[in-house]
Copies of this chain bind each other. A is one copy, B any other.
Amino acid sequence: MTKGLNTREKIISKSAELFNVHGYHGCSLSDIMEATDLKKGGIYNHFKNKDEIALEAFDYSFKKMLKQFRKRLDYDKTPTEKLHSIIEVYAELASVPGMEGGCPIFNTAVDASNTHPLLKQKANEAINSLKKYIEIKVREGIASGEFRKDADQNDLATLIIITLEGAIIMSRVNDKSCIDVAVKTLKRYLKERIYKP
């Protein structure tokens, strides 16, 4: 039982890395066999097909991403510190071991939005969770009196996601300075439109 579980975990974690680097269509079952050092039968013992692996690998990657945020935000005391941390953790996401391929949500959004309805749905749900997570921090800051009453939670959450995701993708082919521009602009946005003067 334990061995089976470990093999299953290994297939998911290795595939998650592969899918994030090469995309759903760029990663074959042979690639997964090679990365896990398993034969076809060893994989089919646990999963029906590549699809089933891809869906679980997405969940695994998204959980890993959320863990990065929680790991840092657990040490923050105020909503102000928490918003700063969200921006900084996000900006460093592509440097986290196993996430070198960039953000799994947006990679999947590009890779699967026209070709794989179930993965597309998962990407959509992940974006909504992330948005909600940021929006809750804005509401906490309004409630605690740290943030302006008119701080727009939807605009801020959307902007953090699109600006940093755009920068993470641009940095994959261009230099990394676009990530600094994203971080600088978002922090200024917090100062000018979210925090109380």
What residues of chain A have their CB less than 8 Å away from a CB belonging to chain B?
A: 21-26, 101-102, 106-107, 109-111, 113-115, 120, 123-124, 127-128, 154-155, 158-159, 161-167, 169-170, 172-174, 177-178, 181-182, 184-185, 189
Contact B161 A114 (CB under 8 A): no
| Chain A interface, >50% SS class | helix
Q: Knowing A166-B164, A170-B161 are in contact, say whether A101-B127 is a contact too (CB < 8 A).
A: no
Q: Which residues of B contact A154 (CB under 8 A)?
A: 181
Do A181 and B158 form a contact, CB below 8 Å, given A25-B22, A169-B109, A172-B109?
yes
Which of the residues B110, B167, B189 comes within 8 Å of A23, measured between beta carbons?
Answer: B110
Q: Is A115 within 8 A of B170, CB to CB? A: no
Which residue of B has the minimal Cβ distance to A116? B26
B-side contacts of A128, CB under 8 Å: 174
Q: For A23, list chain B residues within 8 Å (CB).
A: 23, 25-26, 110-111, 115
